[in-house]
Every structure is written in structure tokens, then in C-alpha cells.
Amino acid sequence: MSESPEQKRVAFLRSEVARHDERYHRNSDPEITDQEYDALKRELEDLEKSHPELASPDSPTQRVGDDLVDGFESYAHRLAMLSLDNTYSKDEFFAFVERVEKGLELEGVEFVVEPKIDGVAVSVTYEKGKLVRAVTRGNGTEGDDITANALFIEEIPRELIGDGVPDVVEIRGEIYMRNDEFDRINAERNAAGLEEFKNPRNLAAGTVKMLDREEVAKRRLNIVLYGLGFCEPDIAATQSEFHQRLRSWKFPIGKRHWKVTGAQDAWNAIEELDTLRERFEYPTDGAVVKVNRLDHQDLLGKTSKAPRWAIAFKYAAEQSETVLEGITIQVGRTGVLTPVAELKPTQLAGTTVSRATLHNQEEMERKDVRVGDSVIVEKAGEIIPAVVRVVLEKRLAASEPYAFPSSCPECGTEVVKLEGEVAWRCLNPDCPAQVRGRLEHFASRQCMDIEGLGVAVVDQLVDRSLVSNLSDIYRLTFEQLVDLEKFAEKSASNLVAAIEQSKRNDLWRLLHGLGIPQVGAAAAKDLAKAFGSLESLRAADVERLVEVDGIGEKTAQGIVDFFENETNVAVIDTLFALGMEPTAPESVAEGEAIFDGMTFVITGTLPSMKRDEAKALIESKGGKVAGSVSKKTTFLLAGESAGSKLTKADSLGVEVLSEADLLERIG
């Protein structure tokens, strides 16, 4: 039986929303505006409501966005950290107030209106007045422990001093980066020939998830606190009382708050905030309206992903009308073709905009974008500008639909659309655009970390035919580099030294940098630990690879195919001939590897050691520590407030250990 149009549209929307969730929450690299994302999600919600048979508990409409990433320990929130429902409509906001009043059987409900800060959601926990932990929202149930990075934020009190300090309290807020700090960092990157960051929100999100503490220390982050999570004993009866408590403990809180009664007063506050928010030092994209009384909040309850007692009203992003003068196609590292609108320059959000993303062919066709059209361009949250819609009444009579290229604009190779994908791809590995992308990836901080080998430098090296594959990097000489634009003797010498130093990087960095399909940083670390050398990994078959925790059959086959490719093998052999000597992971001494082949997951608060200490102890005995419970988990090490991981371990029959059990096994 064939799928209905509604089934096909729901499947497409779920795939697209999930893809954008991944880019926004995990990669801090969104490609569409908030309003475009919200429109996709709203369309999906409406379809699921009108066709209940298509609803699914796995739909992205039924869960909180997930920002959990590899490299950080996860920690369970004592009280779920949900997202907020949002609206751009005055009518929908008044309907929200009506639902609240109906739910409470009360007219004239008291609300608090506060700025919606465009940053990274965080929960900061204090026990007996001492700061113990900072955790991201994660999936709402548990988040990444970013305490080490949050400690660089000077505004976070290390201790609560004053009256009424509770035994335990989770305080929610938003980490952000000021515009002047964002500009300073980009000015430094520009001077170094590196690609500039896109916007303050993405840079703040990327910074809190960095493993390089020295780099985090170089970037100034700020925080605003506004929400109450778990608290024992209670410290306030209302949201406004909680704000006063935060102020008394010296927390940075929002610049303005309004305590209002009823829908109209709340709306007046929303409008007033819109006139004031440009003066704030942090980015705001809306207003958050919360029921003031905490007991009323409890009565109203929550859905699976959002409280029923709060809503975010988002201000419409600034838009501008201009003319689309042309369409160019960009080709990325993996060969994906991305259409870009070339615009008649227009002023938007304080800057001159001449280019905007068109995302992909399907989006272009959906909006029916054509060269010569008058278009509405939007730059929400300082993200790359996007074409929102065409002004059809101004369309020229001679306009024609845009013909998406059937061949790569960089190398002329016929493009293909792989099964299950939206994007068109060029499959020519020697395509100059892909070569540039592979070089930038290899040299990036997440891979070989070759300082000074950024986008601008790579472009010059490829354009001058000095580099055509990864191994060519290690043939570069001082004389070649000093001749590059914006290079002097010192910068050339520094880059030569950085390239030489990278030869002895950790093995996982090389594996990640090679661009093996489906092998990110976490998988690269697992493979490095499992095989110890590139030669051993190259010799492994699919059966051996799937024995590595986290490596599935698809990834395993991709690894085998990668090492069977003659071009890849030639590049790797040349790298080693030029002196590549990656550092293998430290092995556990014979007789000490009592946990060899075992996978642990740690959750909750342990009695006498931090989770990082427990992880180091397990790894010193040959064990592996993973971030989530699965069928491959050997033990769950559980402390107080273990949360959802304990439930999942019980359902899978995974043995649960206490800290005392672990120490007893170690002896």
C-alpha cells in the first residue's frame, strides 16, 4: 500500500526537524532562522493533530531538543528541565492566558514578564550553599556536566551567602556572549586569517562544550539566572520573590521584570520590552511570560516537553525587501551542493547583506525562488541571512524557474541524490571545493589542531596548487608559506612549527581528521583505544569493528570501504612516509586491566568521589566509560539522584553498582 501525501509530508518534516535539531543543539551551527524552524515544527504538529493515526511518541514534537555531546559526563536533573512553547501571534498569546485562567478557575491571574535571552540553557546546583555543578539542558532529563567551563564565568557565585540558603537548589539560566566580546574574537581570527564565527549565540554554545580549557579561558562568557528547578526546602512562593532571592545572593538577573495581572497588562509589558531590549548587553529574541505563583504553576502542570504555566512570545525578526540578482552553488567537504542567493545589497539588523542561504533544492522549489524576484530576507538571531519568501506580485513576466545544476559547478562531475537525502552531491573526491573542505576539517581544532591553517590560508594553498590532498600539508616549506598573502616570516615559521608538531598528535585526532564516514571525535577515540595503531585498524574487518562499543555495521562497513580505497591508502602511506607518528593511547599495565572489555555508565552523585575521578579510576583498570545505557553496558555506577539511566539499566538487566561495590571489585 502506497504512502499518502500526508504520510510522506510527515516523514519529511520529522527528518528535517531532527536534522535542524542536530545542527542547532549539538553542532551550534543552525542553517535556518528560528522562525523558519518554528514554522516547520508547527506544520508537523498540525498534521499530527489532524491525522492522529500518524502521531508517534518518537516525533520531535513530543520531546525536548537534545544537546548532549560526546566528551562530557551527563548528569540527571533533579527536576526536569523543559523547553517552552512559543508563539509569534498576539491572538495565540491571549489564548494561552485564557487557558491558564480556565485551568486555575480564576480571572485576573498574576504573571511575570521577563526577557527571553538567546543563549545556552544551563542549570547551576548548590548544596549547603556551595556550588557543586553546572549542567546543560541536554534532553530535559539529563544534561552535560560543564562545571569546569562554567567556573570561568566570574558572575557565578561559588557560595551562597545570606539568609534562607536551602540545602539543595537548582537555579536555571542562560549563558551568553556579549556582542563586544564576539567582535573582539572575530577581529583576532580575521587578523590570523581564520574563518570568523557566525553569531554570539553559536559561539557561546560551542565554547561551553569545548574540551580545551585554555581556549575557554580566553573567551569571556556571561550568565543570567532566572528560573527555579529542584529546591529543598522551599525558598519562595512566587516567581517575583525568587528574583529577589537571586538578587540577594548576588546573581546576575534580567535587566527588567514586570509583575502584571491579566492578558492586556502582560501584552503591554511584552510591547514595552520590545522597545527596550536593544539597550541590553545580552541578545534577546522575545519575552517569557510565567504564572507568578509557584503553587499555581504546580496546579497547571506540564506536557511531555513544556510547562503549561509559561510561554515564550518571540518578536518577529527584522526583515528587508531586496532583489535576488543571481544564484550560486557552494560545494562542501562531503560534496553537498548548497544554493546561495546573491542579493542587491540591503540593510538588515544593522549590517549590509548581499548574500543569503537558500538551503537546498526542495526549499527553493517550495518557495519558488527565481532570479530577478523581489524577495523578503530575514536575519534572525544574527544567523546567516535567509530568503523567507518571494514577493509574487512583483515577479517579472519573463521570469523562469531556476534549473538546479545537474553537474558540479566546481569540477563538472554529474551530481547525484543519495537515497533518503535531501541534498545533491558531487562524488568526485578531487573536486577543488571538496579538497578545500577536507583540508579545513583536517586542520581544525577538533582534529589535528594546526594553528594558523584556517580557511583563508587553505584557499590560497589550493588556488596556488600547493596542496591537493592531506599529505601535501606536510610538504609545505617556509619559502612557500612566507609568499602567501598576509603572511610574514613569523607567521610562516609558526605554521611550519605547528604542522611539524601535529605529526605527534594523539591517534584519535588523525582518525577524526581523515574524514572516515560516520567517524566523529568520540568514535575516533574508541577506535584508537581498541586498536592502538592505524595499521591495526586498517587490517580490521567488519566483524572485528562491530565489537567496538559504539560502532555499528554501517559505520564498520564505511571504515572498511575507506581503507580499501586506493586514493585514501596512498594519502595515508604518504603521511607516514613524511614523518606522521601519532601517539597511541596509554595502555593499562598487565594485571591491572581488571575491567578490560567492560563498559560502564556513571549517573547520579557518588558519596566520596567526583564522576571524573570515578571515570579515571575505571579507565585506569582498562574499562570504558560511555555516556548512555545500552545493551552493551556492563555496569551502571549509580549514586544519589540516578534518574532515567537507572530506570533504563533496570529494564535492560544491566547490573547496578554503588561506589562501594566498585571499590570492592578493585580491591
Residue type, 253: I
> Which cell goes with 471?
599529505
Distance separating alpha carbons of residues 255 and 136, to the nearest angstrom = 23
Instruction: For cell 585554555, name the residue.
Output: 214
8 Å CB contact between 67 and 204: no
Residues 6+ apart with CB under 8 A from 413: 407, 426, 427, 428, 431
Residue 296: CA atoms inside 13 Å, Cβ hemisphere, count?
A: 23
> Which cell goes with 657?
553498582
Residues 6+ apart with CB under 8 A from 420: none
From first CA to last CA, the distance across the chain in angstroms is 61
Distance separating alpha carbons of residues 566 and 574, to the nearest angstrom = 12
Q: Which among 253, 259, 310, 318 is positioned nearest to 285, based on CA atoms?
A: 318
What are residue 255's DSSP bridge partners?
none
> At how many degrees (to 10) do helices 659-666 and 611-620 cross?
30
DSSP 116-136: EE-SEEEEEEEETTEEEEEEE
- The SS3 of residue 461 is helix
Would you please indicate which residues are annotated as catalytic (active-site) residues?
A: 116
Distance separating alpha carbons of residues 602 and 142, to the nearest angstrom = 12
Q: Pairing between strand 635-638 and 599-603?
A: parallel
Helix, strand, coil % (nearest 5) of the chain?
A: 40, 20, 40
Q: Element (H or E) spanning 222, and its range?
A: strand 222-232
Distance separating alpha carbons of residues 555 and 66, to the nearest angstrom = 22
Residues 6+ apart with CB under 8 A from 573: none
CA distance readout (Å), 453 to 448, 458, 492 = 10, 7, 10
8 Å CB contact between 661 and 590: no
Number of continuous H segments (helices) and E segments (strands) in the chain:
24, 22
Q: Which among 488, 527, 487, 492 is positioned nearest to 507, based on CA atoms?
A: 527
Distance separating alpha carbons of residues 60 and 12, to the nearest angstrom = 12
Q: Which among 241, 246, 240, 242 is positioned nearest to 223, based on CA atoms?
A: 246
Q: Pairing between strand 258-261 and 110-117?
A: antiparallel
8 Å CB contact between 242 and 231: no
8 Å CB contact between 137 and 79: no
CA dihedral 232, 229, 71, 38 (to 10 degrees): 170
Handedness of CA 221, 227, 233, 236 (dihedral sign): positive
Q: Element (H or E) spanning 361, and its range?
A: helix 361-367
